[in-house]
Structure 1
Amino acid sequence: MREGPLKTKAQAVLAFLGACGLEVPADVRERVLASTDLGGLHRWSRRDAV
């Protein structure tokens, strides 16, 4: 099961956005946390870092 890595990566994406001072709307937060696409979360985290 990949639930652990998915949850960890989703939380990291949201934490990074928050650290950058960006407010994440509730619907987007829910979408990120519900994601089952680890590759997509990796892409989001790489885009966030740019």
Structure 2
Amino acid sequence: MIILGAILLLIGFLADISVLWTIGMVLVVIGLVLAVLGGTGRAVGGRPHWF
């Protein structure tokens, strides 16, 4: 999710498309939050692992 967000951020910045920029930012933030929660061992969405 973080990688997809970074790709959308890059495309949105280069093509000057604000919608892609916004979606990319949201995906990066959500990906980072899930990574931190998963790293601490906390269950996310009722699942102890996301994979």
Structure 1 length-normalised TM? 0.48
Task: Tell me: higher relative CO, structure 1 or 2? Use CA pairs within 8 A at least 6 residues apart.
Answer: 1
Larger fraction in helix: 1
Give the alignment's TM-score, normalised by structure 2. 0.47
